[in-house]
Amino acid sequence: MPELPEVETIKLELSHLIKDKKIKSVTLNLAKQVKGDRQKFLKLITGAKIKNISRRAKTLIFELSNIPHPHPLLIKERGTNGAKKYYLVFHLKMTGQLIYRGKSGKLIGGGHPIKQDLKELPNKYSHVIFNFNDGTRLFFNDQRQFGWVKLVDETELKKMDNDYGPEPLSKEFNLKYFEKYLAQRNTAIKPLLMEQKFIAGIGNIYAAEACFCAGLNPTLSAKKIKLAVVKKLYQCIQNILKLAIKKKGTSADNYVDAFGREGQMINFLKVYGGAGEKCYRCKNILHEIRQGSRATVYCPKCQK
């Protein structure tokens, strides 16, 4: 599943590519990819402009403007002139992709290798297609169909925002907050780092990497971690996420950036996906365990 660095990469790239573009039409090939009232979704976003693009945790948010006012749908619902802000919220889940194509239908931009199955778009996984006025297009692809897009207003967006803890690269995520939270929890540290109410945007990849960086056994109870190690873990989280954003994320499974390119962070991972291989530090064999429904790879010698 794309985590914070992968979604941040897509956000940064799409901000340059589609900001201020007007949505001419939407092609909906698989209805379940759109959550909520699909007819309202299609009617309200047609003709809207993408004003801004942001990220919250693992979700991508398009702020819309220029929705026609008064809009008949909104007048009927609210008895007003329909003046209301709307947002498109995307969650890519396991295999979701947002891929941009230029007017000719060809890839825009260069760099990393292109996945072969993305050279021809649309394809059988292109479930929602946003067609812009200038002839460019944005494809919402999803092989396993767990991802979704939803049209929400400001009230709904605020409710969604409240489901998450602080962003790990924000000033709200400070060492004092981190220390206090860990001291109160008897949960194993690695699954705890993946709790979105605690920290927004960290998943299996970066939780495993942060534990290795700090020399922490992923099964250790959070409240038993020594203060010096807590400080190291805090620094590891921030440093790893910053590096991952710089490297445009980890292309494990189906993740690609907005151009269809693979991220390069996979070349810098120390434990994730490395079960049975030699430890980067001590050359001991990396072990894999199950924590809940997720696999965790760690070094039993380096991580105490």
pLDDT, residue 120, reads 80
CATH of domain 4-161: 3.20.190.10
Active site residue 119: no
Alpha carbon 189 to its chain centroid, in Å, reads 22
pLDDT, residue 153, reads 93
Cis peptide, bond prior to residue 122, ω within 30 of zero: yes
Q: What's 175-298's CATH class?
A: mainly alpha
Q: Are 82 and 98 in contact (CB under 8 A)?
A: no
Closest by alpha carbon to 147, among 162, 164, 127, 163?
A: 127
Q: Are 45 and 23 in contact (CB under 8 A)?
A: yes
Backbone angles phi, psi at 190, to 5 degrees: -65, -50
pLDDT, residue 112, reads 35
The boundaries of every CATH 3.20.190.10 domain in the chain are 4-161
Active site residue 190: no
Amino acid at 133: N
Q: Which one of the listed residues 55, 56, 58, 261 is annotated catalytic? A: 58
pLDDT, residue 77, reads 52
Q: Which residue has the tokens 């402009």?
A: 49
Active site residue 56: no
d(CA 57, CA 60): 8
DSSP type of residue 104: T
pLDDT, residue 116, reads 41
Closest by alpha carbon to 274, among 288, 264, 254?
A: 288
d(CA 231, CA 67): 47
Q: Are 20 and 122 in contact (CB under 8 A)?
A: no
pLDDT, residue 96, reads 92
pLDDT, tens digit only, all 304 positions of the chain: 799 999 999 999 999 999 999 999 999 999 999 999 999 999 999 999 999 999 999 999 999 996 655 555 554 554 445 557 899 999 999 899 999 998 866 554 433 333 445 668 899 999 999 999 999 999 999 999 999 999 999 999 999 999 999 999 999 999 999 999 999 999 999 999 999 999 999 999 999 999 999 999 999 999 999 999 999 999 999 999 999 999 999 876 678 888 888 889 999 999 999 999 999 999 999 999 999 899 999 999 999 9
Q: Which residue has the tokens 């495993």?
A: 208
Q: What is the pLDDT of residues 51-66, one digit of tens each?
A: 999 999 999 999 999 6
pLDDT, residue 111, reads 33
Q: Which one of the listed residues 232, 247, 294, 301 is annotated catalytic? A: 294
Q: Copy the structure tokens of residue 124.
A: 């059988």
pLDDT, residue 166, reads 97
Rounded to whole angstroms, what are the CA distances from 125 to 1, 98, 99? 17, 11, 12
Active site residue 63: no
pLDDT, residue 8, reads 95
CB 21: neighbour CB atoms within 10 A?
A: 16
The boundaries of every CATH 1.10.8.50 domain in the chain are 175-298
DSSP type of residue 266: G
